[in-house]
Amino acid sequence: MSELAKEVSVRNKKATFEFEIVDTYTAGIVLKGTEIKSIRLGKVSIAEAYCFFEREELWVKGMNISVYDKGTYNNHEPLRTRKLLLQRQELIKLERQTEEKGLTIIPLKLFSTAKGLIKLDIALARGKKVHDKRASIKEKDIKRELDRHS
């Protein structure tokens, strides 16, 4: 089995701490060949990424896919803006909700399917306040203590 055939799963751990998740979607992503190879090697970060609408299309910005080592002059730009693929109804619903309610769209997880396609789980989210973050930390600590005792 080659080094590129492994499964990919990259999570955005900051997302659940910084945001309250309202709804989730799975989107396809338009990538170049060297980007796919870098992702399969695990050289990707979605921690600083966010999604935005431009001309009724959804784009992801700030997703860092490192340059492929064996790439030549055809190599990609690591921080380029990439287009996300969703059904038209989902795009319309997401755009309407982000405009009206002050919600934002963030990436949660980048993964590969059984067919080898790269997908991105995105979430419609609302930013947490400081006291909400403290409550999240407290819940995590309580859960950790209960797991230790059992």
Instruction: Kindly give the pairing relationship between strand 9-11 and strand 57-61.
Output: unpaired
Q: How far apart are CA 5 and CA 3, in angstroms?
A: 6
**Nearest CA to 137 among 18, 46, 24, 48?**
18
Separation between Cα atoms, residue 150 and residue 146, nearest integer Å: 6
pLDDT at 6: 65
The CATH code belonging to domain 9-149 is 2.40.280.10
Integer Cα distance of 52 and 46 in angstroms: 15
Structure-token match 């499964």, residue found? 7
How high is the pLDDT of residue 122? 92
Query: Do the Cβ atoms of 40 and 4 come closer than 8 Å?
Result: yes
pLDDT, tens digit, for every residue of 24-60?
Answer: 999 999 988 888 888 888 888 888 888 999 898 999 9
Beta strands in 37-101 (DSSP E): 44-45, 50-54, 57-61, 64-65, 82-85
In Å, how far are 86, 101, 110 from 35, measured between CA atoms?
Answer: 20, 34, 13
pLDDT at 121: 93
Q: Which residues of the chain have pLDDT under 70?
A: 1-6
Could you tell me the residue ranges of all domains in the chain?
9-149
Q: What is the pTM of this model?
A: 0.77
Please give the pLDDT value at position 28. Answer: 92
- Tell me if residue 15 falls in helix, strand or coil: helix
Distance of alpha carbon 106 from alpha carbon 140, whole angstroms: 22
